[in-house]
């Protein structure tokens, strides 16, 4: 699912391009998270919608994703005939585009969008600053994670100068939780498994739990971070049943464990403290696999 950085970066770049007289389309084939939905005032096209439009695009910006597989197989041959620009900050980026602007020191892709607008010499407008703030705030966990740098804060201070309403943005992003989400989190917490003197945790959300709590798949967002935040917790592995044989595994670590290295072993990717991969097996089989993985860690 696209996150605040993906959407914020798309919106800022889109608004900038449109203001500069370009015809642009945001193509995003996924569910929009509830916390960022309120910032979108422009049309978002699914891949199917976009195909119907029959636009003769000559340039595609690939925003905030590390490899083409994330797009789904159908898009790769279509993209092969187009000029592509990859704007990303994941260290697992595969440099798949014609031009690759990959800055692994950027806290968020939003920071890279900010740089591009600055480089253009054109004014930074409030309409770009707001989604860039959303991008950076969400990808840094509200400026708490180790990807937050002095530069991140200096970028944010430039965003303030445009007159963005930060308190309002933060209310929309962080004080807006639907009740069924909390119910789902409580249900998952009842099945929490702890390892290595409570320093590693395994948690999962099954399709059955979603049903029970009348929750949506995206309602599991934030659960893995909440477990990570427990005192003494170093690693959290979260399994999410997407379909009966498709299990998405997300990992979060606090200090020393590099979860992107673990994810790469399963053809996944991500950052040192946040990474994931997919297992094509039943939830029960995936749980057993991950129990062994976590149990063997030191």
CB of 59 to Mn ion, least distance (A): 21
CB of 193 to Mn ion, least distance (A): 29
Please, which residue, 109 or 250, has the CB nearer to Mn ion?
Answer: 109
Longest distance between any two alpha carbons in the chain, whole Å? 58
Q: Considering only CA atoms, which of 66, 92, 62 is closest in space to residue 79?
A: 62
Please, which residue, 112 or 184, has the CB nearer to Mn ion?
Answer: 112
Rg (CA), the chain: 19
Binding track, positions 90-119, relative to Mn ion; x by CB under 5 A: ------------------xx----------
Residue 110 neighbours by CB under 8 Å, 6+ apart:
5, 8, 9, 12, 131, 132, 133, 134, 135, 136, 139
Please, which residue, 16 or 269, has the CB nearer to Mn ion?
Answer: 269
Please, which residue, 35 or 64, has the CB nearer to Mn ion?
Answer: 64
CB of 252 to Mn ion, least distance (A): 15
CB of 63 to Mn ion, least distance (A): 9
CB of 7 to Mn ion, least distance (A): 10
Please, which residue, 139 or 241, has the CB nearer to Mn ion?
Answer: 139
CB of 286 to Mn ion, least distance (A): 25
Q: By CB under 5 A, is residue 5 in contact with Mn ion? A: yes
Residue-by-residue DSSP string for the chain: ---HHHHHHHHHHHHHHHHTT----EE--SPPPHHHHTT--S-EE-HHHHHHHT---SEEEEES-S-GGGG-TTHHHHHTTSEEEEEE--TT----SSEEEE-TTSSSHHHHHHHHHHHHTS---HHHHHHHHHHHHHHTTTTTSTT--HHHHHHHHHHHTTT--HHHHHHHHHS---HHHHHHHHHHHTT-EEETTTTEEEEEE-HHHHHHHT--GGGGTTHHHHHHTSTT--EEEEEEEEETTEEEEEEEESSS--HHHHHHTTT-EE-SSEEEEEE-S-HHHHHHHHHHHHHH--
Please, which residue, 111 or 241, has the CB nearer to Mn ion?
Answer: 111
Q: By CB under 5 A, is residue 221 in contact with Mn ion? A: no
CB of 5 to Mn ion, least distance (A): 3
Residue with the CB atom nearest Mn ion in the bound state: 5
Contact range with Mn ion by CB under 5 A, out of 16-24, 59-67, 223-231, 256-264: 59-67
Q: Which of 35, 64, 111, 219 binds Mn ion (CB under 5 A)?
A: 64
Give the number of residues in contact with Mn ion, rule: CB under 5 A: 5
Contact range with Mn ion by CB under 5 A, out of 61-69, 124-132, 192-200, 252-260: 61-69
Please, which residue, 5 or 35, has the CB nearer to Mn ion?
Answer: 5
Q: By CB under 5 A, is residue 139 in contact with Mn ion? A: yes
CB of 53 to Mn ion, least distance (A): 27
The contact set with Mn ion (CB under 5 A) reads 5, 64, 108-109, 139
């Amino acid at each position: 699912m696209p996150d605040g950085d993906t959407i914020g970066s798309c919106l800022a770049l889109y608004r900038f391009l449109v203001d500069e007289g370009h015809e642009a389309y945001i193509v995003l084939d996924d569910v929009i998270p509830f916390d960022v939905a309120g910032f979108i005032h422009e049309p978002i096209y699914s891949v199917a919608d976009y195909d119907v439009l029959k636009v003769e695009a000559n340039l595609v910006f690939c925003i905030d994703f590390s490899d083409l597989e994330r797009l789904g197989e159908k898009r790769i041959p279509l993209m092969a005939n187009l000029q592509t620009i990859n704007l990303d900050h994941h260290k697992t980026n595969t440099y798949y585009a014609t031009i690759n602007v990959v800055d692994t020191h950027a806290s968020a892709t939003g920071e890279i969008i900010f740089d591009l607008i600055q480089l253009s010499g054109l004014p930074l407008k409030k309409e770009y600053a707001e989604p860039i703030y959303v991008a950076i705030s969400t990808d840094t966990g509200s400026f708490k994670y180790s990807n937050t740098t002095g530069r991140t804060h200096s970028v944010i201070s430039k965003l303030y100068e445009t007159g963005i309403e930060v308190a309002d943005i933060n209310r929309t992003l962080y004080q807006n939780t639907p009740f069924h989400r909390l119910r789902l989190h409580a249900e998952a917490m009842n099945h929490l498994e702890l390892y290595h003197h409570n320093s590693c945790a395994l948690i999962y959300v099954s399709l059955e739990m979603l049903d029970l709590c009348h929750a949506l798949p995206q309602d599991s967002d934030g659960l893995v971070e909440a477990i990570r935040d427990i005192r003494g917790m170093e690693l959290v592995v979260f399994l999410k049943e997407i379909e009966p044989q498709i299990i998405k595994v997300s990992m979060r670590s606090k200090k020393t464990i590099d979860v992107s290295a673990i994810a790469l072993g399963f053809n996944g990717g991500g950052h040192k403290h946040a990474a994931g991969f997919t297992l094509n097996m039943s939830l029960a089989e995936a749980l057993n696999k991950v129990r062994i993985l976590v149990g063997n860690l030191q």
